[in-house]
Amino acid sequence: MEEALYDEVVAKRLKKQKVTREWIGHMARVIFACQQSDTMGPSGFVASPHWVTGFMRRYGLSLRRRTNLTSLTDEVLVTRAISYMNYRQSAIPDMDFDRTVLMDERAVYFEDARNQSVDLIGSRHVVVRSTGFASMRITAVLAVSRKLPPLLIWKGKSTPTFDKIGGVYVAQQPRAWVDSNLLKRWIDLVFPMVDPSKGKHLVWDLMRAHISKEVKAKCAAREVKMCVIPGGLTPYLQAGDIGIYKSFKDLLYMEINAWKESDKVEYTRFGNPRMPSVGTVCQWIRSAWRDTDSSTVKNSVAAAGFAENWMDWHIARHDVYGAQFREQWEARDENQEEDGFNLDELHDALDDIALIDE
């Protein structure tokens, strides 16, 4: 009976449908009743919560929090990944890796967004109160190949130039986010006009501002070719999502939390905390990016498709999509048209984060 129930659980999860403990108990009773009607054996099995716990333990099952990564089917995701990697591999001979930049931007909230906390075993209510910092947010722009200086986007009236504070570039934008005008200034900063070298490439995701007409025109003027990661694939093909940004954000949150627990926080007359100064945040960002291990950056870039051996790519080693990707990559037609990749047909995908330090 348990083996049949386990097969039902696996079949439901392969369809990406939710499986609950209550559903396991219900299906256990249904399967048991069907089997007992065939054998005329004794009844009375209730599939109690204790039994469900034991069944899950015996078959290596546990309750897992839903991951919000992509709504693509496995087949569509792998097909897009194959198409993109074919396209990207065809561009590598023309790439100057010293002038190839992997860029992303990410919002950083001062209120810890994680919804887990250590508490006593058996606690029924785990209440985590707001610390008053929920509305505080900055955006960090990080770019690698080598570590480039970070860009901090601060909420305020847009300015025509970037300031530089403590090795960190600072821009102001009304929503503290990137738009086409800000990106054009950033491209001028990273790819200056005085550099006539060939082989410049920019690898980033399909956020709308990245593929706007103005940004495309700016890249063309700077002779920078764009490699745009398809929507829904950034967790598997973008270096930041693979490893860099978790390390960076963990270090940055240590700085933020130390400040929140210190006596340096200033408050309004209504008792609400004030944002720290731009200089303070720049210092945090610079320290977090400096302390992000260079080997983490290097390995993440390699896993994003820059390793010579494709078996070292993150998508090829992924526990869910790896086997299907490897099979299709090995079987792909070597003579297929390499650039069958139409950006306009792909959906937008919003990712986040980015930082840099020389």
> In terms of DSSP bridges, do strands 224-229 and 151-155 run parallel, antiparallel, or are they unpaired?
unpaired
Other beta carbons within 10 angstroms of residue 257's beta carbon come to 13
Structure tokens at 19: 């499986």
Q: Where are the domains of the chain?
A: 2-58, 74-113+134-345
State yes or no: pLDDT of 345 exceeds 50. no
Percent of the chain past pLDDT 90, that is, above it, reads 54
pLDDT bracket for residue 42 (50, 70, 90): low
- Domain with residues 74-113+134-345, CATH architecture: 2-Layer Sandwich (3.30)
Rounded mean pLDDT of 330-351? 49
**Edge-to-edge strand order for the sheet containing 151-155?**
163-165, 168-173, 151-155, 137-144, 100-109, 200-205, 224-229
Q: Is the pLDDT of residue 182 over 90?
A: yes
Q: Are 352 and 107 contacting, i.e. CB atoms less than 8 angstroms apart?
A: yes
pLDDT at residue 342 in the model: 46
pLDDT, tens digit, 9 for 90 and up, residues 20-34: 999 999 999 999 988
CA 100, CA 227: separation in Å to the nearest integer?
10
Asked whether the predicted pLDDT for residue 127 surpasses 70, the reply is: no
Please tell me the predicted confidence (pLDDT) of residue 111.
Answer: 76
3 pLDDT above the threshold of 50 = yes
Q: What gap in Å lies between CA 314 and CA 233, rounded to an integer?
A: 11
Count CB atoms within 10 A of the CB of residue 103. 26
Non-local (6+) Cβ contacts of 212 within 8 A are: 180, 183
**pLDDT for position 86:** 93
What residues contact 51, with CB distance under 8 A and at least 6 apart?
Answer: 25, 28
Estimate to the nearest angstrom the gap between the alpha carbon of 343 and the chain centroid: 20
Query: Is the per-residue pLDDT at 180 higher than 70?
Result: yes
pLDDT band with cut points at 50, 70 and 90 for residue 115 = low
The beta-strand segments (E) located in the chain are 100-109, 137-144, 151-155, 163-165, 168-173, 200-205, 224-229
Average model confidence (pLDDT) for the chain? 85
Query: Residue 351's pLDDT band (boundaries 50, 70, 90)?
Result: very low
The helix (run of H) or strand (run of E) holding residue 11 is: helix 2-14
Task: Give per-residue pLDDT as tens, 256-279.
Answer: 989 988 999 998 888 888 999 999
pLDDT at 102: 95
pLDDT at 108 over 70: yes
The residue among 67, 63, 58, 83 whose CA lies nearest residue 20 is 63
What percent of the chain lies above the pLDDT cut of 70?
A: 84
Q: What three-state secondary structure class fits 227?
A: strand
pLDDT value for 118? 67
pLDDT digits (tens, 9 = 90+) for 52-89: 999 999 999 988 877 655 567 889 999 999 999 999 99
H helices of 114-206, in order, are 180-190
What integer pLDDT is reported at residue 270 of this predicted model?
84
Whether pLDDT at 144 is above 50: yes
- Spatial separation of the C-alpha atoms in residues 80 and 68, rounded to whole Å: 19
Q: How far is it, in rounded angstroms, from Cα 102 to Cα 224?
A: 12
> In the predicted model, is pLDDT for residue 40 greater than 70?
no
